Structure 1
Amino acid sequence: MKTVLLFITLFFAGMALSSCTNEEGENDLDFITPEEEENSLYTEMDKGNGA
């Protein structure tokens, strides 16, 4: 009985671990350069001043 429960636990643990992977192959994070960050900051400041 313990062996059956062990196999069931391992089966569900394996399913849980395999479902947590991201296999899209593309990075979901957007990396921006300091220049891009500075330009977006200035754009937001201009919009706030009504320009």
Structure 2
Amino acid sequence: MKTILLLVTLIFSAMAVSSCTNDESETEFEYINPDEEQQTALKTEVKQESK
């Protein structure tokens, strides 16, 4: 009985993991380097000061 429950659990786990993969070729993340991050931070800081 434990063996059957273990197999059922493994099958459902495998289905859950395989359905969560992202098959799209594009990533949702935008990669920026530290210089771009610093420039963006400075722009938002200037906008906040001007308000």
User: Aligned-residue CA RMSD in angstroms?
Assistant: 2.3
TM-score normalised by structure 1 residue count: 0.64
% identical aligned pairs? 43
In the alignment of these two chains, the number of paired residues is 51
The one-letter code sitting in structure 1 at the alignment partner of 2:47 is: K
Query: Structure 1 residue runs of 4+, over 2 Å off?
Result: 1-15
State the Cα deviation string for residues 1-51 of structure 1 (Å, max 9, x = none). 888767655543332222011101112221111111111011011111117
Flag structure 2 segments of 5+ consecutive residues without an equivalent: none
